[in-house]
Structure 1
Amino acid sequence: MKGDKYITIYKKGDVHIVDMLQKHVLTLKSEIHVDRKFIIDICQEIQKITLMANRMLYEKVSADAQSDIVNNLKNTGEVIFRHLFPEDIQKALKESDESDLYLRLDEKLLHIPWELCFDGEEFISLKFRMGRQVLTESKTIASMNRLHKENMSMLIIIDPSETLKHAQKEAELLSSILENETDIKIELIGGRHANKLHLLKEMKDKGIVHFIGHSFYDENHPEKSGWILKDGFLTSEEMSRMDRPPLIVFSNSCQSVATASCEAYLFDEKSFGVGGGFMIAGVKNFIGPIWVIHDESSVKFAADFYSAFVNGKTLGQSLQEAKRNAIKKNGLSNILWASYMLYGDPSIKIAAEEELQNNTKITYPQSIASDDPKRFTLHLKTFSFMLLVSIILVLGYLFWINWFSKNDKYSFFHDPENLSLVQLYNYAYKIYNSGKNKKAAKLFEELTLDDNNQLGLGYDGLADIFFEEGNLEKAQEILKESFTKNPDNMMSHIIYGDILFTEGKMDKALTEYYQAIEITDALDWQRAKADNALGIGLFANGKAEKARDYFQKALLIEPENTDALFNLGALSWRAGKKDEALSYFKKVTDLNPSEELGHFYMGIINNRSEADEGRNSAKKTLMLPLSFDGGYLTRMGSGEAIAWMIGEKLKGVSNLKIIKSSSLNAETELMKIGFSKLSDSITAINLGKLAKADYVIYGSYRIFENTVEADIRAVNVRTTEIITIEHLKTHGKKKINDLAQILAKRISSKIEQ
């Protein structure tokens, strides 16, 4: 079938009303019932595939692993195609020739990755020139409809946060591509001069706006999402109030078109994100990525797009060509190509080349007010690279260029001028690690007020303290401010990953850890901490060998890192390599004689802490490993050790016969279930029955730098009666020993009543 196609999808409860219109062809209209949980499963599966693909940027993966990513993407795309489009529309799309495809979507359906639909042979975003259009009740503002010769102006916004390494390279590439286009009037604005006021003024009436920088997506308050500036945000909500907005916005920043989470689908909520603010403002065409992307690849993608667009191809054709080029260079498994999407009209194009006039000149403003950004306007026919560099220097980018371009090895942390600031930062963390949270908080706050603190040090420490106190909302609020000051604060990414892990968002947490290890300007202890956290995250995701690799990387950076040594010991112990495990735990205890968990594991390995085989008449009590419920991802195996310690304390204060999970015949079953599910009551009771126990004790724990907290239950296996529920939080150097002692006394008193 030939001709442009229009697919309209409305949501009414659990029913999608879908119709398809083609020129000179009758409209196909159908209804399809869609299970709400199914949509969430689709989105979560795409997130997993994205995470797998992003790992390829940091790890060498086999050809089989790359093939798995492609097959998984195709299989998931085919499920979307078969289950979210009615059969008649599936047939029409499969039999159609390449054309423009307008996807007119209910505002509650924006989070579904329609572009990844796979018809069995092709992804529809590669077959068709796709453009999304939003069916919304939100009031929008009128904007220009076409790129006329007289308004061919383009604004390039260059890294307002002054932290993006590849921003200058992207600006240079775009300039070299556009310099032969005689009627494109280019304006450059960037760095600290690109503040909120000037951006809102300069975007007005522009034909094209290209943004190179960082976006921030606030899942809880999407309207507060936006572009990261030097000292704040330009939010979607503020963008929606623009007057006479640009016709085209290309936001080359991560998560530019991210929308509300898939859970919003359950409640029929609108799912506008960063791009939504522009659309409500009247921007008719918005291009951006839906998830985190790799800087160097995104630069090439933008260059390919503009190469096609300025040479007469439509928006849809240009985006399609850039996607195909990305696949040709990197393969389907590098899913950068799938990230970019267009909200708007794929048929929009610049006036034909023969209509353009060949007069070329460079123009400068007559005067510049003192409160205006340092910028200039020029035609690029005779523009040269040296002139661009000179002008950028005039704009105030001297420090930025020296930092990221002329000296890639520059480190803020190792610059002698920053010595006192870095010493204060390290001291603040030393105080925090010693348990003096209030004093540490004052030091971290002092750091945030220092004018020379260009990396935003201190915000991470404050967020860490609030996280440990259980105030996740305040911690995330501070992290948002931290990313505003410096999107490449390694500790902030690690802490945010820990918070996401605590919230049960494992895939998103791993993404944060991967972003952390890519950051180069960091202290050794931070880099080791990032590798260690990623290792634990990978272990929790079933990747034990990859976890080992990252623990060893942490040791290469910091040979006396007790967390990495402990984790290697725990891995060896799980693999049955007792001697190897013992050597790691001995190193841990040698480095830190007051180490609680290391000493206990050594006791287990040396058979000094076994199940109580005496007391045949005593009640048999199964002590299960505690499930990790959040906190710091620093140590694996803590749940087993804490449970064993509670068991040992119970033996000392009661007549109970304690059975450890390690002595169970049901150990194989236990490993199949996985330690993360041991806080489930049904699982625990079933294991108690397998062990022929009278009681089972189970629960979960959270562990931080200075505190540990646990939720414990003791249940009568035969009657399933809950004997006691205990919640306890302890502090200090002996926090785990104290926790085990107090819980043992409480539990024994309730069981033996």
Structure 2
Amino acid sequence: MLVLEVSKGNNELKMSLFEAGEFISTVRNYSKRSVSWNELAVLCQESAHLLNKADKKGELDPESFKAFKNIGQLLWDNLLTRQVKDKLSSTNARHLILSIDEELVGIPWEIISNGSEFLGLRFNLGRLINTRRQGNLSIYRSFQEKLRMLIIANPTGDLKSAYTEGSLIKAKFESWNKKVNIDFKSTSVDSIYIKKNLRDYDIVHFAGHCEYDPDNPQNTGWSLIDARFTVRDILKMGEALPMPSLIFSNACQSARESSLSPSFNYHEKVYGLASAFLFSGSRHYLGAACKIRDEFGLIFAREFYTYLLHAHCVGECVRRARLKLLHNSSGSSVLWANYILYGDPSFIFFSLPKKKILPRAKTFIVSKRREVKSILVASGAAILILIFSVYFNAVNPRGYLEIVKTRGHLAQGRNAEAVLSCNQILGKAADFLPAYPLLCQAYQRQGMLSRALSSYFEYIIYSQKKGDKKMLASAYIGAGRIFHDKGDYPKAKEFYDKALVLSTDNKDRLNEAVSLRRLALWYMDKDDDNAAIELLTKSVEINSERSHKADHRYNLACDYFDLGLLFSNKDDFKAARTFYNKSLKLFASLKAKDELSDYYFNQGELYLFEKEYQKALECYARGLKIDLAHNNLPNIASDYSMFGELYLELGSELEAEKYFCQALEITENIEAPLEKASIYYNLAELYKFKGQKVKAKKYLRLSQEIYSKVDTNDYAQVKEDILSLDR
């Protein structure tokens, strides 16, 4: 996040552009720019004139629109220093805080343009004001788990469109978020009601008249049925308790400060509604500088709140809403420039809900090339015995060579060839145990869970016949994993428990650790994080004591990875990243380059939660590349679904739909019930976002049908989502 700090001198501006993390730097560079206040006043007045000149659609004629862009370019040329312009042009930052002296608020900073982009459309931009005046600047409301919102719509009873706006916003909040209580007040709203109740709320949306009094600015305020709720009232109330954290005044002139002119006395600067609320404890104030037709004000408001409820930061919500107004026009609309945000643009009001039924993060499971490693880990002793048999007893040397060949097929993603190779081995010697894990892995990659399970049962039978307890424990774990993938949680736990008991009794510490880790993942799915962390801790202890062995070091990496997943699910992203990075170091030491698909997707998801979308995309792309190389169909379906979630977060509905549909197409031809249920759910979220309730309900019911057979809380969540669509 960048901070552009600008202060006013006699005939100059002093400014510094720096990363937010550099704020406490002992030394910070700044640069100066000479300014003609007369010329600046003319540019500001011309920009205001053009904003008010827009037609009913908010558009300017070609000549006027060119003049509007030229003003933005001139402000860029005349206000900003070379150092600042160079950094703004080259930065990849998304957030820009404009920290300016109070005397500079009349400048239309949002329309400053480098010739190709306006600052207000390129950045999530918010204004912070530096002032000499005293106020409750550091006193903000404390947030409760459930926020309270007041919608004041058409308080004077003469604005039907304002009532419609308020009603639609109320409906959006009620259908999308369970973390806010909404109160709706319309018609005959008097000043006593506002004064008594306003400070009880965290968010206030006002849709109505705002009257500006140039002769007595402290008398500026919202028009109510009996009087105005004025700047003076706000300042008095703010002396006792802080005002709501977010004020959205969707009324004309509400964000307008005094005009900038050469003769303006800055020490006697009048208050506006924006500064009154900010001085009285509001974190954010969003208002319109010029008159906007009601239908466009509604478009902006709906877009703003849609993104706010999807856990976007305030600045992103404003920028997206501005772009919505622009995209709804022929390209010459200037309506977007009317909206001004005061406050930190990176602030997020609503956190993302935990959707445990979604593929929120991947776990280290028996899949991809890492399973080849885990197969060797689980049956290392048996492989060594096999090698000795090859060299000293000449027992089935051809079978061992076929195993090496099969591993090569899997490494190259030739899963069908791997199945054929394993079946040829087992056709000659059905008790050749090392072939079974490879065969099951190849089936899993092709989404053939039933065949994989059948092969694991054969693996169990022949391990029992040969009395090979280590191979038997490995087979139990594999069968449990297949039941886990099918959503049969009781059966999955039954086989994990069998593996744990057998390996413990046999002092097989490797399979004991793997069993503990698989059980931990089982409990994570059951939302029992305490049991999960206890089991993972035991597994870490076993593998850490034996980390000099490659097989235990590999499994220790898997332990760290799953601890990262656990902390990610608890929203402790710092701890999650620490454990993910520990796992990465161990994999690197083992030269396990192809085991990292899940690592990249889970790291990407952390970036997604932190709104680092480009980094998230880059991580997802690296993970997808690995899964495509291994032709791992269930993973690829899950990957596409996660891409869809990311694009839905970005508001790119077409891209989101494309990826969800690609994911669904894959699952139609394989056995991947949980992946399919998750994709159905994501499609429902997409269509709910688009306001298509019928389609949303259709996919929720398809998801519900699958989860009705799964022993988790997912069914109840989907059922609640279906009911919410009918409210």
Q: TM-score range by the shorter chain?
A: 0.3 to 0.5
Q: TM-score, normalised by structure 1?
A: 0.44
Greater strand proportion: 1
Greater helix proportion: 2
Q: TM-score, normalised by structure 2?
A: 0.46
